[in-house]
Amino acid sequence: MKFKHALCIYPYKEELKNMGFLPPLGLEYIATSIESLVESVTVIDLRHEQQPLSSFFDGRIDLVLISLSWGREAEFVKEIISSIPEGITVVVGGRHATEYVDELFESIPRIDGIVRGDGEDIAREIVEKGLSADIEGLSFRSNGTIVHNKTRTLAPVRSDFFPNRKLRRYTYSVILDEFKTDIEIDLMFGSRGCPHNCKFCDFSFNPLGEKRKWSIRTPESVVAELKTVKAGFIGFADDIFTADMNWVERLCDLIIKEGIKKKFFINSRLEVARRPEVLKKMYKAGFMAFLLGVESAHDKTLASMQKGFTTDKIREYFAVLRRFNFLYHSFFIIGNIGETREEMLKVVTFSHELGVDTLGLSVLRANKYSFVKEMIKDLDNYHIDVQTGKVYSDMLSVKELQQIRRDVNASFFSARVIARVLKKLIIHRFLTLRFLHKATVFTARRKMAKLAQKRGIRLGNVVR
């Protein structure tokens, strides 16, 4: 083997404020893929790690693999990568790395290689061969130039392979604002890709611009992995978990048969409402929350997106969904092409009418491989912010769109909505008396700390 001791790094300190508690599943897949080939592999998550990074370089590490999922915290990430001692091969991968290969090579000279696309097989080949021209999907430095090997064909998801959670150094628990709960959470994949073609979406596309074919694991393999998961709450990171409701039904039957008592969060589409008999089984099997892409409250926008449904059909679907006590988190886009401020604000009344529990609001973006670029290229009054990729118009700036987003969020959470959400959280055993007690104490302490800070008093003298 070319390498014997690997260090896998998740190089963010904060990442997403509302998702920073989730494990780096992609990096764990990579670590597990090479585990049998090396003498040692260590996975560190800088969001949770207490030891300094330098302490892991004990003279044995000869390969560092880094997951770049996001473009956030760019300076911190650059600092981390640049601090890795010379003589160690540094390879980065992940969605962001795949999208910005040339930019990363230029801005971070310490990077030796970049994995483009899925990394499990490429990582194994790197361990065996080093940075080689024979490895498809790899870009690397060679004699002062950048070599881009042939693109690797995207493989279907495997049913016989999942992460070894024994490699973890941390327990991942739900964090609400600054309040860390004792609710353990984990992530899994049941499938990869998406069979749909919504115009605004680029998650169904490989960052190389190649359409990923949707593929799915066997229900038996998913249940086998579930038995290795300690956490009581599991989020499925599939682009869409419910593309095949017959598969979902078979999985539910197995979960119920095996007596697995966990709660599940999934990405889904509204068409699940066509199969209420499967929804009934999902509820019994422990499915708790559906993340649903509604995107707009207007038919003209839904048609331009190729969503495949109208507002009347959405109402029809939610009439079925409201029969079940699932939590419904619905995604809407602020700044859809052709929508006015007043039309964007209609998200609030439309969501209340549907019975949506929580909102996921985002400003329209045109990423590198997004169809949105094609949609607006001939529209003189629409533009793309160079730094963020957010789409804005002559009518509404990015700042104004962000304010609309805040206004919608603030207006949505009425007392009735909050009461319904709390009721569902209690039903699904997410909220317990212990949880509520800890949350109350935490809130009280934080308020007292702020008060003490204003008065110049040390917290220790106020709260014991």
**What is the predicted pLDDT for the residue at 459?**
42
CATH topology identical between 5-148 and 171-427? no
The domains of the chain are located at: 5-148, 171-427, 433-464
C-alpha–C-alpha distance, residues 98 and 214, integer Å = 20
Question: CB-based burial of residue 153 (10 Å sphere; 0-12 exposed, 13-18 middle, 19+ buried)?
Answer: exposed
Specify the fold of 5-148.
Rossmann fold (3.40.50)
pLDDT digits (tens, 9 = 90+) for 24-64: 999 999 999 999 999 999 999 999 999 999 999 999 999 99
Of 333, 202, 376, 359, whose CA–CA distance to 385 is shortest? 376
**What is the predicted pLDDT for the residue at 177?**
66
Residues 391, 376: contact at Cβ < 8 Å?
yes
Residues 289, 321: contact at Cβ < 8 Å?
no
Of 348, 338, 335, 330, whose CA–CA distance to 388 is shortest? 335
DSSP strand pairing (391-393 vs 382-384): antiparallel
For the chain, what is the largest distance between any 2 Cα atoms, rounded to a whole number of angstroms?
66
Q: Cα–Cα distances in Å, from 403 out to 246, 347, 407? A: 42, 14, 6
Top-tier CATH class for 171-427: alpha beta
pLDDT digits (tens, 9 = 90+) for 64-116: 999 998 888 999 999 999 999 999 999 999 999 998 999 999 999 999 999 99
Q: Which residues of the chain have pLDDT under 50?
A: 457-464
Of 35, 324, 264, whose CA–CA distance to 161 is shortest? 35
Q: Cα–Cα distances in Å, from 364 out to 2, 201, 344, 355, 383? A: 45, 10, 12, 24, 11
Sign of the four-CA dihedral 284, 285, 289, 294: negative
Helices 347-354 + 311-321 axis angle, to 10: 40
Of 249, 278, 246, 270, whose CA–CA distance to 328 is shortest? 270
